[in-house]
Chain A
Amino acid sequence: KQEVTQIPAALSVPEGENLVLNCSFTDSAIYNLQWFRQDPGKGLTSLLLIQSSQREQTSGRLNASLDKSSGRSTLYIAASQPGDSATYLCAVRPESGAGSYQLTFGKGTKLSVIP
């Protein structure tokens, strides 16, 4: 059964700092990995999706990398801003077979950017 772990559980940084959030998964047979942002009491906003054949994806100040064979992904946030404060979730979709429609989520990293 796929397990997704995110470290650290919480992170507090001063504004302007670059930071890295980590995601690891136990079964490397994934089709893609998706990073989400969740604001308190709100829904999930998709940030980036990386296909298993890709190494990284970029969107603005965000860069996500994927090392499928080692079961790891990182989300790099450049020049952090107070508005980046949220919980960041990663989720993986399996390659095929049973469960291939569903995302398996990590518990998230709660980021606080201090002005």
Chain B
Amino acid sequence: EPEVTQTPSHQVTQMGQEVILRCVPISNHLYFYWYRQILGQKVEFLVSFYNNEISEKSEIFDDQFSVERPDGSNFTLKIRSTKLEDSAMYFCASSEGGASGGPRDTQYFGPGTRLTVL
């Protein structure tokens, strides 16, 4: 069964460094998302991406974050200058797209990348 994959599974970085988290969504999906989960907290939406542009972003997704689909298979989240509070599990998700043209379907999540900022 197709699945969303993410690399690396764990990333350790120093505060102020840039990190890139990588995701390969399910191949026929059109909508891509990043969420994060701080330890012990709820899963929170960061950004959605469709047709090579951001569809929506939350208040968390400020100027230090960016997303990109550099080729036909990868979807990346870049954090420009990491802070201690960026330590979290980051989940990538994708959905197929409904008949109406919107992302009206089940979102499938990857296994996550645990980011630790020291």
Contacts and interface: CB of A to CB of B under 8 A. Distances in A.
Given A100-B102, A101-B31, A42 B107 contact: no
Interface in A33-80: 34, 36, 41-46, 49
Nearest to A101: B48
B45 A102 contact: yes
B118 interface: no
Q: For chain B, which range describes its interface: under 10, 10 to 19, 20 to 34, or 35 or more residues?
A: 20 to 34
A98 B56 contact: yes
Interface string A16-32: 00000000000000011
A111 interface: no
Interface of B: 4, 6, 31, 33, 35, 41-45, 48, 50, 55-56, 58, 91, 93, 102-112, 114
Per DSSP, are chain B's interface residues mostly helix, strand or loop, or mixed? strand
Contacts of B50: 101
Contacts, number: 57
A100 B33 CA distance: 13
Given A46-B108, A89-B43, A91-B43, 8 more contacts: A36-B109, A42-B111, A43-B112, A49-B105, A99-B56, A100-B56, A101-B50, A101-B103
Nearest to B46: A102
